[in-house]
Chain A
Amino acid sequence: MKKYRNKKKRLSTKYMLLIMTIVCITLIFTSLTLNISGGPLNTVAGYIFVPMQKGINTAGQWISDKTNDFKTLAQVQEENQKLKEQNDELTSQLNTIKLEKYDLDNLRELLDLDEKYPSYQKVAASVIAKDTGNWFSVFTIDKGSKDGLKKGMNIMAGSGLVGIITDVGPNYAKVRSIIDDSANVSAMVTTTEDNMNVSGNLQTMNSDQAITFSELRDSEDKVQIGDPVVTSYVSDQYQQGILIGYIASIESDSNKLTKSGTITPVVDFEHMENVLVILDTKETGDSTQTESSGDSSTQTTEQ
């Protein structure tokens, strides 16, 4: 009798595993083919976990603020000195840029051109949680569809590109960053306007804090180390002209036609607390881009 009951129980567990496996596989396929996300699951999970994560973050922030208070005066003074120097440098840079901008505006007016890099509408959000695993670079921010965020919006921090929203719940949004191993961005070098494909890479990111680029056509060898890379107008997901980083190394591919190498991103992905969400999403198929001839200015990356 007992044996029989045991056998029955074991069978039922096995059947349950089978049923759950089928549930999981249908889940995977529906989310793959229909490209839908959790829906009600997102809502429930968002309302339960996001407040907890926010709470822990506020506590952590408070502690780190308190520990920062104990920084010695000497350190602060040194930092102040450095910042002052930087300030002077930046002010002089700003002045020249202002003059250039004045020129640019005049010329644009003459040529009847629209602003090439429109100022995007942005909203600030803070990072509340990161990917639980160590393979990918995904994080969640504390604003969601209630604040008008949508799938496909670009995320910036400071002046650089961080990533793209891949999923939204009512009070959170999931962001896949550009350093994620599966991320791909169409980009271009500002100095020569050559297009390339930038992809995140766990290996180069771990070893020298860089992401890789490939398929750069640069037959005249004009692209150099240190050239800024921005998002390209051919990208169907990313807004044009957002700074990604600077070229750190270039190598010729074996086909002698294209080049690949690494880019150092401008954003510090490890210490990211606040980000900016660009509320405009890229509308594919609009804006016939004018092939602006000549060397376009390299400083137009601030939108």
Chain B
Amino acid sequence: MLRKVVLFIIIAICFVLQSTVFQALSFANIAPNLMIIVVSSFGFMRGRKEGMFIGFFCGLLIDIFCGFYLGVYALLYMYIGYCNGIFQKRFYPDDIKFPMLLIGASDILCNLAIYFIMFLFRGRFDFLYYGRSVILPEFVYTMVITIFLYYILQKINQKLEISEKRRAKKFDL
């Protein structure tokens, strides 16, 4: 229960920040993608199931406030969360290189999917341009934010796991 409340608060804060503050702080119309950081990091910290559900809710939120049709982003983010969950076994909390690699890959994959679904089919073939002016800058900006946000998320997750363990022990006794 505590985990659900905390997760909801994290998602809400990240969504609100991304849609307001980071849009104002955008460089050349490019803002970082906080949602992908949350989905991806909880995916590989907590496994496929939790990654999947967090992805679904983050995506649904984006669908409601800025999507075309309900469910498109939900589907996309859900799969990103699930795929990150596959790498849970390889995850060690102290190593930042592997999480950054995963988050970066998730961001690029997400944008590639959006490009293919929503741009290529409408006849926008200049992939190199979009790669250079949208996907790459967003990747760089997201990576910079990841360094800070990932530590916060990881600390929160550790605290949650400790309190869950303690509670489980109490239950056993």
Contact B65 A13 (CB under 8 A): no
A133 at the interface (CB under 8 A from B): yes
Q: Is the CB of A128 within 8 A of B119?
A: no
Q: Mark A8-46, 1 if CB is under 8 A from B, else 0.
A: 000001001100110111111011100001100110010
Is there a chain B Cβ closer than 8 Å to A154's Cβ? no
A28 adjacent to B75 (CB under 8 Å) = yes
Docked complex: B22-38 residues within 8 A CB-CB of A: 23-24, 28-31, 33, 35
Residue of B nearest to A10 (CB): B48
A135 touches B134 (CB 8 A): yes
Please measure, in the bound complex, the distance between the C-alpha atom of A161 and the C-alpha atom of B9, giving whole angstroms.
Answer: 37
Which of these, B30, B78, B118, contacts A21 with CB under 8 Å? Answer: B78
Query: Is the CB–CB distance between A42 and B64 below 8 Å?
Result: yes
The count of residues in chain A whose C-beta lies closer than 8 Å to any C-beta of chain B is: 45
The residue in chain B whose Cβ has the minimal distance to the Cβ of A36 is B70
Given contacts A21-B75, A45-B65, A206-B29, contact A53 B16 (CB under 8 A): yes
Q: Which of B54-62, B91-99, B145-153, B162-170 is near enough to bind chain A?
A: B54-62
Cβ of B69 within 8 Å of any chain A Cβ, yes or no, is: yes
On whether the beta carbons of A56 and B16 are closer than 8 Å, the reply is yes
- Which of the residues B15, B69, B82, B115 comes within 8 Å of A28, measured between beta carbons? B69
Known: A28-B75, A49-B16, A56-B20. A41 touches B60 (CB 8 A): yes
Contact across chains for B70 and A31 when beta carbons are under 8 A apart: yes
A28 adjacent to B29 (CB under 8 Å): no
Q: Enumerate chain B residues within 8 angstroms of A174, measured Cβ to Cβ.
A: 65-66
B20 and A132 contacting across the interface, CB-CB below 8 Å: no
Interface membership of B39, Cβ < 8 A: no
Tell me if B70 and A128 are in contact (CB < 8 A): no
Binary flags per residue of B106-126, CB closer than 8 Å to A gives 1, else 0: 000001001100110010101
Top 6 closest pairs, chain A to chain B, by CB: A27-B71, A129-B19, A24-B75, A28-B71, A130-B23, A131-B66
Where the two chains meet, the residues of B that have a C-beta atom closer than 8 Å to any C-beta of A are: 12, 15-21, 23-24, 28-31, 33, 35, 48-49, 52, 56, 60-66, 68-72, 74-75, 78, 82, 111, 114-115, 118-119, 122, 124, 126, 129-130, 133-134, 137-138
